[in-house]
């Protein structure tokens, strides 16, 4: 018994959670049907943001009031049961209140989302079939023509090897089907220099005096505007905005599952203190 109390004290000393005001109430159960992975993770993120982020930060990497519980090897070694017990019991002398009134379900959500921040989400959280998603990534969706994963793919878009880390499946899916304006505005262009040489690629930077382009092979070209005779932009944005139409729901789930699996397979092993 003394050994268990000692271990529990060590855990709660690490997890110094913010003091919740008297007006804060336990979040009620969502009566709407939820997908097991997406719903639980979304609700866990909400609970973590309202109860834990004040000390540990939204990414769990700590702040002035609380330690890093996301990438800390020590935090990652605790079992889910130990974490739930620590959050439930708290440690008032360290500024951490007891959250037992939240109930088992919400405590599980908080710990589940912490595992997402740690990059240790369980395999069942995967949105779809990673193998089928890989075929979509390199095939039908042609994501690899712009994006690289695990050293394979194009240079025009961002490297997606760790993109899905700490994101819920629904957030990844939304980024695919409804890209942000900055991604949607990214354009390919063809520049014709006054000496007749042509450069085709993604516009990385442009101002009144110069334009920087990146070719599909990754090569950067810095062209001065006085040396450019013509600059023609592709009519469509680099990031397609119709993936929600050309891909089925299952294909989207598989694609998201593939991006999640890359993170899981490349997650570095925790180092010993």
- The model carries a pTM of 0.46
Asked, for residue 272, whether it belongs to a domain, the answer is no
Q: What is the pLDDT of residue 68?
A: 85
More confident residue, 13 or 233: 233
**Same domain assignment for residues 95 and 217:** no
**Same domain assignment for residues 19 and 66:** yes
**Same domain assignment for residues 8 and 50:** yes
Q: What is the pLDDT of residue 29?
A: 36
Q: What is the CATH number of the domain that holds 195?
A: 2.30.30.100
Residue 178 DSSP one-character state: S
Q: What is the pLDDT of residue 59?
A: 85
Provide the pLDDT confidence category of residue 140 given band limits of 50, 70 and 90.
very high
Q: What is the pLDDT of residue 181?
A: 54
Asked, for residue 245, whether it belongs to a domain, the answer is yes
**Same domain assignment for residues 166 and 256:** yes
Asked, for residue 97, whether it belongs to a domain, the answer is yes
Q: What is the pLDDT of residue 27?
A: 36
Supply angle C-alpha 98, 100, 106, rounded to 5.
120
More confident residue, 143 or 20: 143
pLDDT tens digit string along 77-89?
Answer: 877 778 888 888 8
Contact 227, 193 (CB under 8 A): yes
**Same domain assignment for residues 48 and 131:** no
**Same domain assignment for residues 24 and 84:** yes
**Same domain assignment for residues 78 and 36:** yes
Contact 213, 186 (CB under 8 A): no
**Same domain assignment for residues 16 and 119:** yes
pLDDT at 64 over 80: no
What is the C-alpha radius of gyration for the chain, rounded to an integer number of angstroms? 23
Asked, for residue 273, whether it belongs to a domain, the answer is no
Asked, for residue 14, whether it belongs to a domain, the answer is yes
pLDDT tens digit string along 202-237?
Answer: 888 888 899 888 887 778 889 999 999 999 887 766
**Same domain assignment for residues 46 and 97:** yes
Q: What is the CATH number of the domain that holds 48?
A: 1.10.760.10
Burial class (CB in 10 A: 0-12, 13-18, 19+), 92: exposed
Average pLDDT over residues 234-255: 86
Range from 36-45, 169-178, 184-193, 242-251 carrying the lowest mean pLDDT: 36-45
**Same domain assignment for residues 209 and 95:** no
Considering its fold, how many domains does the chain have in total?
3
Residue 159 DSSP one-character state: B
**Same domain assignment for residues 117 and 20:** yes
Domain that holds residue 257: 126-179+241-266
**Same domain assignment for residues 143 and 206:** no
Mean residue pLDDT across the chain: 75
In percent, how much of the chain has pLDDT > 90? 15
Q: Which of 87-91, 126-130, 188-192, 250-254 has the highest mean pLDDT?
A: 250-254
């Amino acid at each position: 018994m003394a050994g268990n109390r000692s271990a529990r004290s060590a855990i709660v000393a690490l997890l110094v959670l913010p003091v919740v005001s008297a007006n804060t109430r336990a979040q009620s159960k969502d009566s709407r049907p939820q997908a097991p992975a997406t719903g639980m993770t979304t609700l866990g993120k909400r609970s973590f943001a309202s109860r834990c982020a004040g000390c540990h930060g939204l990414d769990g990497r700590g702040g002035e009031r609380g330690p890093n519980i996301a990438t800390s090897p020590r935090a990652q070694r605790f079992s889910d049961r130990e974490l739930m017990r620590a959050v439930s019991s708290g440690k008032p002398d360290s500024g951490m209140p007891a959250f037992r009134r939240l109930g088992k379900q919400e405590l599980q959500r908080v710990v589940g989302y912490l595992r997402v921040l740690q990059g240790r989400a369980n395999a069942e959280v995967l949105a779809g079939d990673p193998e089928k998603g890989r075929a979509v990534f390199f095939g039908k969706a042609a994501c690899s023509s712009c994006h690289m994963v695990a050293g394979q793919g194009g240079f025009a878009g961002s490297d997606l090897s760790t993109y899905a880390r700490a994101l819920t499946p629904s957030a990844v899916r939304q980024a695919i089907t409804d890209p942000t304006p900055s991604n949607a505005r990214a354009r390919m262009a063809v520049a014709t220099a006054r000496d007749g040489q042509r450069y085709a690629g993604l516009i990385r930077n442009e101002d009144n005096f110069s334009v920087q382009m990146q070719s599909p092979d990754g090569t950067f070209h810095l062209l001065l505007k006085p040396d450019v005779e013509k600059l023609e932009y592709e009519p469509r944005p680099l990031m397609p905005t119709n993936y929600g139409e050309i891909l089925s729901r299952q294909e989207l789930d598989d694609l998201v599952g593939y991006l999640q699996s890359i993170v899981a397979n490349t997650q570095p092993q925790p180092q010993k203190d």
